[in-house]
Structure 1
Amino acid sequence: MRSCFYLILFLLSLTCVLPSYAGRKLVAAVLTSDITRYKESHRALVKTLALKGLDQSKVELVVQTPNPDPISWANTIRKFNGIGSDIIITYGAPVTLAAIREVDNIPIVFVDVYGPVEAGVTRSMAAPGRNLTGVSSKVPMITLIKAANDIKHIKSLGILYNGREIGSVIQLKEIRRLAAQMGFSVVELNVSSANMLDSALGTLTSSDVDFIYAAESTLVTRSLEKVIFRARDHGIPVISHVPEAADKGALVTLEINTYEQGQLAGECVSAILQGKKQGQIPVATPKKVDLVINLKAAKLLDLNVPIQVLNISTKIVK
């Protein structure tokens, strides 16, 4: 009953602006929490639409940033369904999966989903099927792990992940495979709350892990500076795929370009609005991927970065 009540209030709140949708397409976006990279991707998406002639005179954009939990995500998707959205844009795998469960006749364009096929979001990269397409954020885990190993030999790797977020679980599985191939051990900590994060950091910093890998999840992303500072205090470098992690103090990161993700998503939205079937639009993969080395972090951790690692890096933080 409470959910229905809030849905009615939401719909009533839009009655004063609904007439403005006449002759325009309604595109609704769900940003997971207040994560900066999603905001940047969304700005790029809006700019891309404008460059394609799809400005505010042709497209009405509605954006919601619900609390980072499944109930809030589902409620937001239902609201967008209720107001007759023409396209729903989802940022991150958790929101995308919620949208798949809630709607089956509205095109979905997802952004920043790590391994869409492995996550069960799409049938394939070339032909996603269902009612969706979007942009993958998957990058080669081996590149990150080898760069870290060249700086400091990995005997044991600590992993902070969230078992409730599929992208985080996929990254965990990839590291397990690499650990078996390269001969290092892993210490896995499943983190889904702030209290669990504190406990996990305590466990890892008191162990003999050589690195901590911060897997992509809403909680870890929002607490990344805390993770990096706590690890650094114990002489442990952090590596990650989370965009901007190196700028926050991680030693090595392999980062997808968030702005390019938004541009590619904007192209998907444009194609759908022009009549192309979303399930036939291949999943896009950004070409701009940065291997970032943080020399400032290396100095603080008393680590030397070999020239071969610097040669393959595309960005250096000094």
Structure 2
Amino acid sequence: MKPKRRPFLKLAVALAMSFPAIVAAQQTSAKTPRIGLLAWWPCGMPYASETSEFGMFMQGLHDLGYTLHELSFECRSASKQDSRLAAAARDLVQLPVDVIVTSSQPAAHAAQGATDAIPIVTIISGDPVAAGLARSLAKPGGNLTGVTYYATELAAKRLQLLMEAIPGLATVGVLANPVVSYLPFETDTKQAARHLGVALSLQQVSEPGELDAAFSRMKADGAQAALVLPDLMLADQSSRIAALAIEHHLPIMAWGSWYVADGCLMAYSADYGVMQHRLAYYVDRILKGTKPGELPIEQPTKFDLSVNLKTANALGIELPQSVLLMADEVIE
């Protein structure tokens, strides 16, 4: 997921350097826990900055009372390429580290493929049981635990909200990355569309350079709005997607609030900052001796609707009062 923008106050002061610099400065003893960060975005960014992949996780550690003198960090990045996650995970395993932390399901699969012994703490976008990452939510077993924001009804809910915002909606474009086709979102969206009587223009986008043509195809297919399915590459392109949506006059429903902050019309999602923060709890329990397989995988209980009124005006859309009353966040 794309990191949520927010300041980190005291933590930002403590961590206003990149992780390579932190690691070089640490005097790691045999008793200092070593946390491996399996990143999709580059490791060389300041990890307490507002664009950090692990910023809220670091805030969570800080809130639990940890300091840099008590922990050691190693970061390995896939450099924005899912295909490089496996090699990055193997690097962390070979060091080794005491626990691996990731912020996405593709990274979780890579980590679990690299080790069945080192604990893994992660955010999971799909169904962890169906994906083979856990035996059950209550008792994951194995070496992986964390938070999942998956619910089969999310695809239908996003479509329903889009239909309520755009009366008469008949055809919806869909942006999906075939690299993560093993995730359940395409299937869920197709099933929801059939149930709601909406036609889909499904566009497979595996590289940022394919977005322009995908929008053109959606428009040619008669799409009146579009859904963006969960994927890290697409999340990284949220600003570009927002600009293309304005250019092609296609209202967007996305899966993360940062899309709305970047100019897309709507998003319906769990709070990713809260989920990232919660990963620190799992790491704390594991470092204190609890086995990851004994820590239940949690699910968010609240999902928020975000809308961008400036974008609505640019698209010439007057959002119904019913939608505005449901919105938890309104950008004006």
TM-score between both structures, scaled by the size of structure 1: 0.87
Which one is further off, 261-270 or 53-62? 53-62
1:164-175 matches, within 5 Å, as 164-166=179-181, 169-175=183-189
Shift of 1:315: 0.9
Specify the alignment match of 1:214 in structure 2: 228
Residues 118 and 191 from structure 1, CA distance in 2 versus in 1: closer, same or farther, beyond 3 angstroms? farther
Q: Number of aligned pairs? A: 305
| Aligned pairs (5 A) from 1:1-318 | 20-34=28-42, 40=52, 42-138=54-150, 140-152=154-166, 153-166=168-181, 169-318=183-332
| Structure 2: segments with no counterpart, 5+ residues | 1-21
Identity of aligned residues (%): 21
How far does residue 21 in structure 1 lie from its aligned partner after superposition?
3.4
CA distance in 2: counterparts of 1:69 and 1:274, whole angstroms: 33
The match for 1:5 is: none
What is the CA-CA distance between 1:112 and the residue it aligns to?
A: 4.8
After superposition, give the CA deviation of every residue in 1:145-188 in whole Å (9 maximum; x if it has no partner).
21111111321111110121157x42221111111111111111
Q: By how many angstroms is 1:279 displaced?
A: 0.9
Is the Cα–Cα contact under 8 Å of residues 41 and 261 in structure 1 kept in the other structure? no
The residue identity in structure 1 corresponding to 2:69 is: S
Separation of aligned partners in 1, 2:130 and 2:160: 23
d(CA) in 1 for partners of 2:157, 2:282: 29
Deviations 1:60-100 (A, max 9, x none): 12223332334521222112111120000112111111111
TM superposition shift of 1:38: 9.9
Q: TM-score, normalised by structure 2?
A: 0.84
- Given that 1:119 and 1:166 are in contact with CA atoms closer than 8 Å, whether structure 2 keeps it comes out as no
Unaligned runs of 5+ in 1: 1-13
Q: Quick one: structure 1 residues 287 and 110, their matched pair in 2 at CA, closer, same or farther if it must change by over 3 Å?
A: same
CA deviation vs aligned residue, 1:224-260 (integer Å, no higher than 9, x gap): 2222222222221111103311111111101322221
Over 3 Å counting, the alpha-carbon distance change for 1:59 and 1:16 in structure 2 is closer
- Residue 39 to residue 85, structure 1, CA distance change in 2 (3 Å): farther
Contact 1:40 / 1:258 at 8 angstroms: preserved in 2? no
Bigger Cα displacement from structure 2, 265-274 vs 215-224: 215-224
Which shows bigger deviation, 239-248 or 101-110? 239-248
Backbone CA RMSD of aligned residues? 2.6
Mapped partners of 1:65, 1:194: distance in 2 = 19
- Matched with 1:4 is none
Q: Structure 1 28/232 Cα, relative in aligned 2: closer, same or farther at 3 Å?
A: same
- Write the distance in 1 (CA, Å) between the matches of 2:248 and 2:206: 23
